[in-house]
Amino acid sequence: MTAEARLREQICLLAKSIFDRGLTGGSTGNISARTEDGGLLISPTGSSFGRLDPARLSRFDKAGQWIGGDAPTKEMPLHSAFYDTRSTAGAVVHLHSCHSVALSLIPDANEDDFLPPLTPYGIMKLGRVKLLPFFLPGDPAMAAAVRGLAGKRSAVMLANHGPVVAGKDVEAACNAIEELEDTARLAMMTRGLNPRGLTDAQVQSLVTKFDVEWDV
């Protein structure tokens, strides 16, 4: 099996795992990953994470031209914005996960630091998460907003829509976006209960020890 064939299988396996556990439903969400030749594989438009076909993933060459597979998701510009601004990005995942969307609806949500510091892994895997305003799905302004961050955030939350996370590879990106959803769920579960989060000193220790992108 070639490296690309293995990557195609891995994308579909991880996407189905996400779908089976209810982290995105129907035909929502999209996932992409860099190929060895600098190209890109991305889920097709209107496809379900639960039923992706490795052979039908959209294929782009390193120049960004669509060269095979089904027509790509309309959120392709959003994925490209991460790849173009973050040299370390090897994969991008976008979900419509319930608890993260719910947290984005709260009026006092922090735009510059969307996730409260409740657990170490939310900080270690994501750094600071930027809350972006609402855009119509597929709106080029969404990609422009990501480009405006100049690669300083690996994760953003699209208000009333869903999270988007870039990682070094597709497994890392999936793990990170699941951590985002778990932290958002904790935040919603404990909202109004005055939860005991991590202190500033504890957060700084994590940032220092694990070389987290934080002061951006």
- Whether 83 sits among the annotated catalytic residues: the reply is no
Catalytic residue among 66, 121, 210, 214: 121
Instruction: Find the angle CA(41)-CA(174)-CA(23) to the nearest 5 degrees.
Output: 110
User: Backbone dihedral region of 150: left (phi > 0), alpha (psi from -120 to 50 degrees) or beta?
Assistant: left
Residue 154 in contact with residue 176, Cβ under 8 Å?
yes
Q: Distance (Å, rounded) from C-alpha 34 to C-alpha 89?
A: 8
Q: Distance (Å, rounded) from C-alpha 166 to C-alpha 157?
A: 12
- The three-class DSSP label of residue 159 is coil
User: Backbone dihedral region of 179: left (phi > 0), alpha (psi from -120 to 50 degrees) or beta?
Assistant: alpha
List residues with catalytic annotation: 121
